[in-house]
Amino acid sequence: MRKKNLLSVVGSICLTLVLAALLLPACAAEEEPTPAPTTVAPAKHEITIAIYQSSTHEISQWIKENASLLEEMSNGRLIPKVYDSGMIAKGPDMIDAVQKNLADLGNCFPGFTSATFPVFDIYGMVPFLIRDDYEVWKAFPRINAVAQRAMEDAGYDNVVFSDACYFSSWYMTATAKK
């Protein structure tokens, strides 16, 4: 009888230990879920583009199409605002407007700036020097270096000569550094 009693006590202890082993994980304190990493929305930047051509001009239309592509390609991070018809600056004053941070980008005809930057006239005035965009593309590193040097020598330290193109006449783009 004593054996039976001892056996039932040992059996009860074993059963309690097995049940405890099974139930302890369920009774353990739940871990707080790790919060999902928060993603900060990328900052949006408005880019001011100043052009002197009218809103119906071919260059205005082209710039507006490219501005919408820029916004699309940046997933809305870059928001270009095109101001045409000389709303920010007339053609001769475009580089000054970029220098003074009135516009981030400015499009102008180099002939407008010949008083300040005579070197710009060379590219459009010398016959057969550069006839089309392909030749501009080939010569752009040299054109850029000469144009940038001319602007810096004239005190335009906030302007980068960023592009040149040929649409039966020359056009150039100046970009603000800051």
Give the domain CATH number at 117. 3.40.190.170
Residue 91 lies in a domain: yes
Residue 2 lies in a domain: no
Question: How many structural domains compose the chain?
Answer: 1
- Least Cα distance to 165 among 108, 125, 112, 122 occurs for 108
Contact call for residues 53 and 94 (beta carbons, < 8 A): no
Rounded to whole angstroms, how far apart are CA atoms 142 and 131?
16
Rounded to whole angstroms, how far apart are CA atoms 137 and 156?
24
Residue 99 lies in a domain: yes
Residue 52 lies in a domain: yes
Query: What's the token pair of residue 134?
Result: 């392909």
With 0.85 as the threshold, say if the pTM is over it. no
pLDDT in tens, the chain (178 residues): 555 554 454 445 544 444 445 455 555 556 677 776 677 778 899 999 999 999 999 888 988 998 999 999 999 999 999 999 999 999 889 889 999 999 998 888 777 887 888 877 766 555 566 666 677 677 778 877 888 888 889 898 888 877 766 554 556 677 777 6
Collapsing DSSP to helix, strand or coil, 150 comes out as helix
Domain of residue 124: give its range. Answer: 45-176
Residue 86 lies in a domain: yes
